[in-house]
Amino acid sequence: MRLARLVLLLMTLVVTTLRPAWAADGGVSSRALAGDAAVGRAASGEAGAADDEGAGDASVDGGAVDDDTPRGPRLRVGVAGDPPFVVERDEDLTGIAVELFREAAKESHLEFDMVKVETVPEGLLAVQHGDIDVLVGDVSITAARVERMRFSQPYFRSSLGVATMRSETASFASKLTPFFSKSFFAATAVLLAVLCGVGTLVWLVERKKNPEQFPVAPARGIANGVWFALVTMTTVGYGDRAPVTPLGRIISGVWMVIALITASSLTAGIATALTLASLAQGGIENIDQLAREKVAVVSGTPAVDFAKQTRVRVVPVENMEEGIEKLMIGEVKGVLFDKPQLIFFAREHPDKDIVVSRASYQPQGYGFALPLETQHQHALNLALLRLAEQGFTHKVVIGWLGPDGEQIP
């Protein structure tokens, strides 16, 4: 027992002796840790101050941008098309499409550099491959193209038309040509057959009780019957022949009603033939008149697909100018292209005797083409709407195409 107490006493003395040294070492460590913590807090404070200062700078540089400040990098804008939408003057680009894009870019605070592209199909490929950011020109918006890229809303409504050479002054013989067509002969044959049928029927009914006017002899009797049917149809009614039997009068009454319609149709047919004869001097009225004829069509345009639906013989060309050249030298009979461009060319070159048909085909809109990943479609659409509402678009179109410019399609 005494031994245990002695051991306990010795352990107490040892602990009491070593506590000051341990406390001193522990105090130093605590102060070191406290110092490190203070340094950490100071560093955190400096970092926080730096963050606050950076946040202050960011609020200045990254805040609201002034409306007059261009946004984003400069756009690479390709320009392709035909007058009056794209026009080169003294190495400067202008035209309906160019003027509208410049104003739309200004409204959207976009900076850009323009470069001329040879053709619209080449420009569309450049957009698709990312070589340019926007294609400006008379670019038709079609379903096939929308699958590969984006478009702004249409800034102009267009359609396809056909240009031909103005005919020389027609001679008297050429004016009679429509009267010798297959359709005219067919209509005349049908009319004669009907007259013969009605005349024969009247003769069969009248020959016994009215032999004075409709002789029993077939040749004379039927001839008199046809004469009666003819004068009744034309409402002349000489009165030299008239049925006396009830059945003959019924047949004559029915024929009178039918003859009114027949005479009207005949008159309309003659008027149409005369109209075609007069129009023959000024070109064609629709593309059906060029069936089986060679027609120039610009490759890569919507006109190609439309031409395949007709009976014309397509001659591919690179651009409208090449098609016009082939038309003037007689290699083709017509040029199928966008109607506004054809009309503008005919107005600007009256000496070339080119006329554009009144008929329009495949209505389409023109827009600006952009890549699928573009971020500028909304801005351009908004700007184009504002320009239209402000009357700027109307002013530009009228300036290039004249008072009837917006009525061309």
Better-predicted residue by pLDDT, 222 or 238:
222
Instruction: Indicate if the pLDDT at residue 112 is higher than 60.
Output: yes
pLDDT of residue 271: 62
pLDDT of residue 166: 82
Mean pLDDT check: name the lowest of 102-116, 156-170, 181-195, 262-276.
262-276
The region that residue 316 occupies, defined by phi over 0 for left and psi between -120 and 50 for alpha, beta otherwise, is beta
Better-predicted residue by pLDDT, 131 or 44:
131
Place of tokens 């659409």: 381
What lies within 8 Å, CB to CB, of 279 at 6+ separation is 285
Sign of CA dihedral 387, 388, 393, 395: negative
pLDDT of residue 309: 92
Place of tokens 């050249």: 325
| Max avg pLDDT among 36-40, 229-233, 290-294 | 290-294
pLDDT of residue 100: 98
Instruction: Indicate if the pLDDT at residue 183 is higher than 60.
Output: yes
Q: Looking at residues 158-170, what average pLDDT do you find?
A: 80
- Cα distances from 259 to residues 81, 223, 262, in angstroms, run 56, 18, 5
Angle in degrees, CA 256, 262, 266, rounded to 5: 140
Give tens-digit pLDDT for 296-314. Answer: 999 989 999 999 999 999 9
- Cα distances from 197 to residues 230, 329, 348, in angstroms, run 11, 53, 58
pLDDT of residue 57: 38
Instruction: Indicate if the pLDDT at residue 118 is higher than 50.
Output: yes
Q: Given pLDDT bands bounded at 50, 70 and 90, which one contains residue 6?
A: low
Give tens-digit pLDDT for 275-293. Answer: 555 544 456 778 888 889 9
Mean per-residue pLDDT over the chain, rounded: 80
pTM comes to 0.56
Q: Looking at residues 219-232, what average pLDDT do you find?
A: 89
Helix (H, G, I), strand (E, B) or coil at 295: strand
Q: What burial letters (b/e) apply to 263-291, b meaning 16+ CB within 10 Å?
A: eeebeebeeebeebbeebeebbeebebbe
Taking each helix axis from N to C terminus, what angle separates 392-401 and 96-108, rounded to the nearest 10 degrees?
Answer: 160
Q: Which of 370, 393, 384 is nearest to 104 (CA)?
A: 384
With 0-12 / 13-18 / 19 or more C-beta atoms within 10 angstroms meaning exposed / middle / buried, residue 245 is middle
Better-predicted residue by pLDDT, 14 or 379:
379
- The distance of Cα 104 from the centroid of its chain, to the nearest Å, equals 20
pLDDT of residue 313: 94
Better-predicted residue by pLDDT, 174 or 367:
367
Radius of gyration of the chain (CA): 45
Q: Looking at residues 9-32, what average pLDDT do you find?
A: 46
Give the integer Cα–Cα distance in Å for 105 and 88. Answer: 20
Q: Given pLDDT bands bounded at 50, 70 and 90, which one contains residue 80?
A: very high
Give the integer Cα–Cα distance in Å for 32 and 35. Answer: 5
Instruction: Indicate if the pLDDT at residue 148 is higher than 90.
Output: yes
Give tens-digit pLDDT for 188-205. Answer: 788 889 889 999 999 999
Tell me the CB-side half-sphere exposure of residue 304, using CA atoms within 13 A: 12
pLDDT of residue 169: 47
Instruction: Indicate if the pLDDT at residue 45 is higher than 50.
Output: no
Sign of CA dihedral 111, 113, 116, 119: negative
Three-state secondary structure along 259-292? Answer: HHHHHHHHHHHHHHHHHHHHHHHHCCCCHHHHCC
Phi, psi of 296 (to 5 degrees): -75, 135
Taking each helix axis from N to C terminus, what angle separates 182-206 and 218-233, rounded to the nearest 10 degrees?
Answer: 120
Q: Name 95's bridge partners.
A: none
How much of the chain exceeds pLDDT 90, in percent? 49
pLDDT of residue 405: 63
Angle in degrees, CA 132, 306, 120, rounded to 5: 15
